[in-house]
Amino acid sequence: MREGKSCSTPLEVGIKLRRDERRILPDPLVFHALVGSLIYLTITRPDIVYVVGRVSRYMAEPKKPHLMAARSI
């Protein structure tokens, strides 16, 4: 965690997440586990609820930009 970058917002300002993205994830279970952990984390971090909701919309067909957005939270 020493090399981690801090940021003031949980999601990059102006990012546009779309369903029609072409970069498919080889293993969507990584995305599912990450979003599940983020949903659990919202119990103690209400400031990330909106962003986690935005990312969780893509649980059915996650793409690479969706994973990158979830990791930035």
Each residue's pLDDT expressed in tens, for the chain with a length of 73 residues: 567 666 666 666 666 776 776 778 888 999 999 999 999 999 999 989 999 999 999 998 999 888 888 988 8
Residue 15 lies inside a defined structural domain of this protein: no
Residue 22 lies inside a defined structural domain of this protein: no
Residue 7 lies inside a defined structural domain of this protein: no
Global pTM reads 0.77
Residue 1 lies inside a defined structural domain of this protein: no
Residue 20 lies inside a defined structural domain of this protein: no
Range of the domain at 63: 28-72
Number of domains composing the chain:
1
Q: Give the chain as a 3 state SS string.
A: CCCCCCCCCCCCCCCCCCCCCCCECCCHHHHHHHHHHHHHHCCCCHHHHHHHHHHHCCCCCCEHHHHHHHHHC
Residue 16 lies inside a defined structural domain of this protein: no
Residue 6 lies inside a defined structural domain of this protein: no
Residue 33 lies inside a defined structural domain of this protein: yes
pLDDT of amino acid 20 = 73
